[in-house]
Amino acid sequence: SVFDRIKAVEGKVDAYLTLDEENAMKKAAEIDEKLAKGEELSPLAGIPVGIKDNISTKGLRTTCASKMLGNYVPPFNATVMNKLDDIVVTGKLNMDEFAMGSSTENSHFKPTKNPFDTERIPGGSSGGSAAAVAAREAIVTLGSDTGGSIRQPASYCGVVGLKPTYGSVSRYGLVAFASSLDQIGPLGMCVKDVAMVQSAIVGHDKYDATSSYREYPDFAADLKADVKGLRIGIPKEYFGEGIDPFVKQSVMNAVKELEKQGATVKEISLPSTDYALSSYYIISSAEASSNLARFDGVRYGFRAEEYDGLVDMYERTRSEGFGDEVKRRIMLGTFVLSSGFYDAYYKKAKLVQKRIMQEFASQFADVDVIATPTVPSTAFKIGENTDDPLKMYANDVCTVTVNIAGLPAISIPCAYDDKGLPVGMQLIGGKFTEQRLLNTAYAYE
Ligand code: GLN
């Protein structure tokens, strides 16, 4: 039925880059057989799941929505794919090229459309992952979040998206954008679906040196709609200028709901929020410039057809293989890391990062959860921000701090505007407090 749905709506939504119906049907039949034999299966066995196209899937094309990896078929699975062994993979989902963007317009192949209004963007970079869930073209999906790429499209598409604590989900096999910020996480129609996927993908992995050894609860089994005594902080910096009044009001109304259920609410301040965007774009671009050096026409994917010697081959391959936004990030990244500018930019950005981490840590001594808008507005029109990178970057103002501080956060739908477009509320927690975040979201839902 999911593939029937894909056939009916995919032409309008364009969420997928690759569909894998034949293998999906085979896998579904295998699961049916196992069921018939009474074999014990995982809770997600047979569930149709769509995968963002920067997560390596053995034998299934993984493009990162880039010409550079247009024909790349990974010889191995990302760890999350091995952990989700029993699922049925529907296909690979569209995204901004190498996860750089906020609208999925930076895909080399095609833009994805918002199922609520196909003239609007679904958000990004996991736009395909959010749109597929919203359009019921998958039951749940995996996305990745470096500066908001799970939460922001979840907000624009009216679905639930969880960005896990840095180090809780293995990044092995996730094509690296900014390794110190990247995390894989789930998107779904409801909190329980997201909790189930999170339970399945979380955990230590010897192939990821940043992966934590901690034990995790079974998030879905332990889900409790109970917020009695929960202390919620409202950071005034996230409700200031640039945030749409309807978005502010909707989030405040949602917080009031939680208050009615027994939570206490107080205003707090995170004063370095103003510097978060600049710091994020410096750190993430610096890491990207290094991570993307591997795409040289020799080791992976695309190589320019005509060239004159090795250096020319590198130059032409990278000039032809990368899109404009990726080039912009590589140039910005190499610039902020260059010897003359390192102290002025990269080092300062890392100091801001430390400050932001400390501010969160000190707030989490007084509050359990911080509530903010996920994005400043509802989904914008396709093409509206493409000529203005700074305007595009401004979309991430509420989400990047979470990655900079390595924290978990969830976006859940909390209202619809007069055009029927969804608004998301973001709940941020201290490190490894996913259960509390999920419980809070579940109580609201
Ligand atoms: N929009 C942000 C960026 O372009 C976030 C991307 C992400 O989280 N992958 O960097």
Q: How many CA atoms lie within 13 A of 198 on its CB side?
A: 35
Name the residue type at position 290.
S
Per-residue confidence (pLDDT) for residue 299, from 0 to 100: 87
| Element holding 317 (H helix, E strand) | helix 310-321
Closest approach atom of ligand 1 to CA 150: 8
- CB distance 375 to 369 below 8 Å: no
Sequence-ordered list of residues with C-beta below 8 angstroms from that of 306, at least 6 positions apart, any chain:
316
| Element holding 43 (H helix, E strand) | none
Distance from Cα 178 to the centre of ligand 1, integer Å:
9
What is the torsional sign of CA 240, 244, 249, 254? negative
Instruction: Look up 125 and say whether it is catalytic.
Output: yes
pLDDT band at 300 (very low <50, low <70, confident <90, very high): confident
Q: Is the pLDDT of residue 281 over 90?
A: yes
Tokens of 393: 């970057």
Closest approach atom of ligand 1 to CA 281: 10
The whole-number average pLDDT for the span 277-292 is 98
Q: Which of 52, 102, 155 has most ligand 1 atoms within 8 Å of its beta carbon, as the pocket-test mutant? A: 102
Span 153-179, pLDDT tens digits:
999 999 999 999 999 999 999 999 999
pLDDT band at 106 (very low <50, low <70, confident <90, very high): very high
CA 387 to chain centre: 23
97 lines ligand 1 (CB under 6 A): no
Instruction: Look up 149 and say whether it is catalytic.
Output: yes
Name the residue type at position 78.
A
102 lines ligand 1 (CB under 6 A): yes
Tokens of 69: 């990896």
Tokens of 377: 């507005």
Span 25-49, pLDDT tens digits:
999 999 999 999 999 999 999 999 9
Q: Is 206 exposed, middle or buried (0-12, 13-18, 19+ CB in 10 A)?
A: exposed
Which string of b and e fits 312-324 if b means at least 16 CB within 10 Å?
ebbebbbeebbbe
| Element holding 169 (H helix, E strand) | none
Span 406-421, pLDDT tens digits:
999 999 999 999 999 9
